[in-house]
Amino acid sequence: MDAKHYNVLRDDKYGRYLVTSKELDGGELIFTDQPFAVGPKAGKYNTPPLCLGCYCPVENTLCSRCGWPVCGAQCERDPQHIAECEIFSMAKVRFQPVADWTSSAPQLDCITPLRLLLAKEKDPERWRQELEMMEVHTESRQQRPTWSMDQVNIVDFLVDHCKLGDRFSKETVQKACGILEVNAVEIPSRGGFSIRAVYPRLAIAAHSCVPNIVHTILQDNYKVEIRAAIPIKKGEPLYLCYTHALSPTIVRREYLLESKFFNCDCPRCSDPTELGTHLSTIKCNKCDNGVILSTNPLDNDAQWICTEKTCGFKTSGGAMRKMLAVVQAEVDQLDLLEPGPQAIEQREATINKYKSVFHPRHSILLSIKYALAQLYGRVEGYSIDELPDLMLERKAEYCRMVLKTLDVITPGDSRMRGMMLYELHAPLMYLARNEYSIGLITKDKLKERLQEPLQCLADAARILSREDPQSPEGITGQIAAQCLEQLKASLEAI
């Protein structure tokens, strides 16, 4: 059991929430948590059939006993699968063959709720202490189409078809669905696909779009480590961000209302400029100097108006949402491209297409720049040692732009910061060396210029060393540590 650096409080706004019981340093471990249950995200989240042991994609590979998807004999023996395998085998309920093994599999909707219920049976005391009081928003969920889908695909299926009525009531199964929908977090699996898990203590942390804690999933047993992202005073609430940090306010608030059943009114959501980051700001195409901001970001239907007094341009919240959805769908297609020259060129073209529409730091453009910062120097035709200075400068500019935004919206040690610091070191290093090689700067100036990439590598290695060593971030952290030693050695040799 780890040291208890928090207390649980309750109020009308947050329900249960966590506050610190001592002063915390940035990066300090606050607590760890074991998942109560882990399982696939399933069909309603557009997840294809995955192995129920390792969560790798499968095709026509089924368990020899129960006939549900597993990738081989080892995963058949996975302890989580053995329990459900027995239920499916006894009830003679098999996974129905599918024509397309790459499309979503609603048959798997029942797996994670079933695992939650089986864990309840196995450890009723932990259920009573940690999950029984979780918020499930039954009335709100009953108004959603997903309620009736869950009733058919999960509740009726498990109770009636799988003959579990003597072990679980339909109300209990529906409560398990609610616990997952409201409290589960999406995590990366060992197979590389997103799955979901319920962490009872992590679930108590309140939400803010400017969090002060970060969490890391260790993939060998899916344990989560929660750390302070920044120094936190004793008695302050611990805030986790439930949404994607780079999303604009309209998108974040709609997601939180849809998935977590609350309207966020944090300082970032309340400010039309998103604390000066301009992640939601649109350029005005009716005048030269104005930008378009929401008149009330806490009302998704509020008017958006130009800041230039003489302009008077207005548009509706609905029109803004529609425009964002159209452009985001276009950007989502970019994310499907394989890393290569086309992935870079199409993103550059998209930035040029929309640079007169969005503020340069608008979330849509910033997300593309974040992706480009990672692609420049890494793909065929754009390797780091063949990038011209202009492109090295662009890579550095995009890294700095993302880092400047992260300073405000996710201050302190976050995975995204660690990755951007690692990406920033290379263009800074190559630009300095290029200038020295053609005689533009002296040896002493070169040494001075190499101090910043040195610091970037040291900070990236420190932040990413806390990640799972097999994850992309953990591997980057190890590379950063090696590059740090190499750069130190080359500095000494200059």
pLDDT in tens, 351-375: 999 999 999 999 999 999 999 999 9
The answer to whether the CB of 223 falls within 8 A of the CB of 185 is: no
CA-CA distance, 430 to 149, in Å (whole number)?
55
User: pLDDT per residue over 405-454, tens digit each?
Assistant: 999 999 999 999 999 999 999 999 999 999 999 999 999 999 999 999 99
The answer to whether the CB of 382 falls within 8 A of the CB of 347 is: no
The answer to whether the CB of 56 falls within 8 A of the CB of 191 is: yes
CA-CA distance, 458 to 469, in Å (whole number)?
17
Q: Which of 53-57, 184-188, 396-400, 468-472 has the highest mean pLDDT?
A: 396-400
**Residue appearing with tokens 């919240």:** 317
The model carries a pTM of 0.90
Arithmetic mean of pLDDT over the chain: 93
pLDDT reported for residue 106? 87
Residue 192 in this model has a pLDDT that exceeds 80: no
Residue 2 in this model has a pLDDT that exceeds 70: no
pLDDT reported for residue 129? 92
Distance of CA 280 to CAs 23, 124, 244, 360, 381, Å? Answer: 34, 46, 14, 10, 34
pLDDT reported for residue 1? 44
Residue 101 in this model has a pLDDT that exceeds 90: no
Domain spans in the chain, listed from the N-terminal domain onward: 6-34+201-241, 42-187, 376-494
The answer to whether the CB of 343 falls within 8 A of the CB of 334 is: yes
pLDDT reported for residue 41? 85
Largest Cα–Cα separation, the chain: 82
User: pLDDT per residue over 43-74, tens digit each?
Assistant: 566 678 889 998 988 888 999 999 999 999 99
Residue 332 in this model has a pLDDT that exceeds 70: yes
pLDDT reported for residue 4? 73
* Rounded CA Rg of the chain: 25
Backbone angles phi, psi at 341, to 5 degrees: -55, -40
Residue 28 in this model has a pLDDT that exceeds 80: yes
Smallest CA-to-CA distance from 280 within 387, 223, 189, 364 is with 364
User: pLDDT per residue over 276-320, tens digit each?
Assistant: 999 999 999 898 889 999 999 999 899 999 999 889 899 999 999
pLDDT reported for residue 387? 94
Q: How many CB atoms lie within 10 A of CB 106?
A: 16
pLDDT reported for residue 220? 81
Residues linked to residue 57 through DSSP beta bridges, in sequence order = 50
Give 447's contacts (C-beta < 8 A, 6+ positions apart): 491, 494
The more confidently predicted of residues 481 and 99 is 481
CA-CA distance, 396 to 217, in Å (whole number)?
29
pLDDT reported for residue 48? 83
Share of the chain above pLDDT 70, in %: 98
Give 102's contacts (C-beta < 8 A, 6+ positions apart): 48, 57
Backbone angles phi, psi at 187, to 5 degrees: -135, 155
Fold of domain 6-34+201-241: Beta-clip-like (2.170.270)
The more confidently predicted of residues 97 and 240 is 240
User: Rounded mean pLDDT of 262-288?
Assistant: 95
pLDDT reported for residue 51? 92
Residue 80 in this model has a pLDDT that exceeds 60: yes
